[in-house]
A = this chain, B = another copy of it.
Amino acid sequence: MTLPTLEATPIPGLVVLRLDLREDARGWFKENWQREKMVALGLPDFGPVQNNMSFNAKRGTTRGIHTEPWDKFVSVANGSAFGAWVDMRDGDSYGAVFTVELDPATAVFVPRGVGNSYQTLEDGVTYSYLVNEHWRPATPYPALDLADATVAIPWPIPLDEAEISEKDRTNPSLADAERMQPKKT
A: residues with CB less than 8 A from B are: 1, 24-36, 47-57, 61, 63, 77-78, 104, 124, 126, 128, 130, 134-135, 137, 163-165
Q: Contact between A30 and B1 (Cβ–Cβ < 8 Å)?
A: no
Taken together as a complex, chains A and B put the C-alpha atoms of A164 and B30 apart, in Å, by: 17
Q: Contact between B53 and A77 (Cβ–Cβ < 8 Å)?
A: yes
30 contacts between A and B (CB under 8 A): A24-B165, A25-B163, A26-B56, A26-B57, A26-B61, A27-B54, A27-B56, A27-B57, A28-B55, A29-B53, A29-B54, A29-B55, A30-B52, A31-B51, A31-B52, A31-B135, A32-B53, A32-B128, A33-B50, A33-B51, A34-B50, A34-B134, A36-B134, A48-B48, A53-B77, A55-B78, A55-B104, A77-B77, A77-B78, A128-B128
Taken together as a complex, chains A and B put the C-alpha atoms of A104 and B24 apart, in Å, by: 24
Given contacts A30-B54, A35-B134, 6 further A-B contacts (CB under 8 A): A25-B163, A27-B55, A27-B57, A29-B54, A31-B135, A55-B104
- Distance to closest chain B CB from A65 (angstroms): 15
Which residue on B lies nearest to A63, using beta carbons? Answer: B26
Enumerate chain B residues within 8 angstroms of A130, measured Cβ to Cβ.
51
Q: Contact between B137 and A1 (Cβ–Cβ < 8 Å)?
A: yes
